[in-house]
Structure 1
Amino acid sequence: MIIEARLINFEVKEEQNHQKESEQLNFLDETTKEIANEKEKDLGVKSPLQSKDERFGILRNEHFPENILILDTETTGLDNENDDCLEVGSILFNVKSRSVLAQQSFLLPVEINNAEKINNIPAEITRLPQPLSEAIKYFESLVRVSNVIVAHNAEFDKKWFGLKKLPQIEKPWICSMDDITWPADRQLKTRPSVRDLALAYGVPVWNAHRALTDCIYLAEVFIRCTELEKLLIRALEPKVLLRAEISYEDRYLAKNAGFRWNDAIKGAWSRKMSRRDKEKLEFPVHEVDFHA
Structure 2
Amino acid sequence: MSFYHLDPNRRGERMARRIEQLDDYRVLRRLPRPDEMWCRSMPVSNNEIRLAIVDCETTGLDPERNKMIEFAVGILTIDADMGDVIDVTPPQSWLEDPAEDLPFEIERLTHITSDMLIGKWFPDAAIVKAMADITAVVAHHARFDRGFATKRFPALASLPWICSMDDVDWPALGFTGGRGINALLTEAGFFLPNAHRAAADVWATTCLLASTAPDGRAIAAQMVETARRQSERLYATRAPFECKDMLKAAGYRWSPERKAWWTEGDPERIANERSWLTRLAGSIRPLTERVDWFVRHG
Residues 156 and 287 (structure 1 numbering): CA distance in 2 closer, same or farther, change over 3 Å? same
Q: Who is 1:188 aligned against?
A: 176
Indicate conservation of the 8 Å contact 2:264/2:270, yes or no: no
Counterpart of 1:221, as a letter, is L
Q: Check the 8 A contact 1:243/1:270 in 2, yes or no.
A: yes
Report the identity percentage. Answer: 23
Q: TM-score, normalised by structure 1?
A: 0.63
Do 1:71 and 1:150's aligned partners in 2 also have CA atoms closer than 8 Å? yes
**Letter in structure 2 aligned against 1:116:** E
Distance 1:249 1:83 in 2: 31
Q: Name the counterpart of 1:236.
A: 228
1:177-222 CA distance string (max 9 Å, x none): 2233235142437x71122222233332345211111111111111
Does 170-179 or 222-231 show the bigger shift? 222-231
Aligned pairs for 1:221-260 (under 5 A) are 221-226=208-213, 227=217, 228=219, 229-243=221-235, 250-251=246-247, 253-255=249-251, 259-260=252-253
Indicate how the Cα distance of structure 1 residues 279 and 101 shifts in structure 2: closer, same or farther if over 3 A, else same: farther
Structure-1 residue corresponding to 2:91: 103
State the distance in 2 between where 1:277 and 1:210 align. 38
Q: Residues 170 and 179 of structure 2 are in contact (CA less than 8 Å); yes or no, is this contact kept in structure 1?
A: no
Q: Which of 39, 56, 61 is the aligned partner of 1:78?
A: 61
Q: Which runs of 5+ in 1 are unaligned?
A: 1-8, 10-19, 23-56
List runs of 5+ in structure 2 lacking aligned partners.
1-8, 10-37, 278-285, 292-298
- Work out the CA distance in 2 between the residues paired with 1:230 and 1:176: 11
- Selected match of 2:108 from 95, 109, 117: 117
CA distance in 2, matches of 1:181, 1:108: 34
Paired residues, what number? 225
- How far has the Cα of 1:100 moved from its partner? 1.4
| Partner Cα distance (2:245, 2:61) in 1 | 32
Determine if the alignment matches structure 1 residue 154 to structure 2 residue 145: no
For 2:52 and 2:96, the matched residues in 1 are separated by 20
Equivalent-residue separation in structure 2 for 1:275 and 1:200 (angstroms): 33
CA drift at 1:79: 1.8
Equivalent residues in 2 for 1:1-292 (5 A)? 66-96=49-79, 97-98=84-85, 99-111=87-99, 112-114=101-103, 115-128=106-119, 132-133=122-123, 136-164=124-152, 166-169=153-156, 170-188=158-176, 192-206=179-193, 208-226=195-213, 227=217, 228=219, 229-243=221-235, 250-251=246-247, 253-255=249-251, 259-261=252-254, 263=256, 265-266=258-259, 268-275=260-267, 278=270, 284=276, 286-289=286-289
Looking at structure 2, the residues matched to 284 and 153 of structure 1 have their Cα atoms a distance apart, in angstroms, of 29
Higher helix share: 1
**CA offset at residue 162 of structure 1?**
4.3
Q: CA deviation at 1:264?
A: 5.5
Provide the rounded CA distance (Å) in 2 between the counterparts of 1:80 and 1:65: 33
Q: What TM-score, normalized to structure 2? A: 0.62
Classify 1:158/1:129 alpha carbon distance in 2 versus 1 (closer, same or farther; 3 Å).
Answer: closer
Query: 1:73 touches 1:89 (CA, 8 Å); kept in 2?
Result: yes
Q: Distance in 2 between matches of 1:194 and 1:277?
A: 29
- The CA deviation at 1:241 is 2.0
More divergent stretch after superposition (103-112 vs 269-278) = 269-278
Contact 1:254 1:269 in 2 (8 A): no
Write the distance in 2 (CA, Å) between the matches of 1:280 and 1:94.
38
| Structure 2: distance between partners of 1:208 and 1:155 | 20
Following superposition, the deviation at residue 153 of structure 1 comes to 1.4
**Cα distance, 1:252 vs structure 2:** 5.6
CA RMSD of aligned residues (A): 3.7
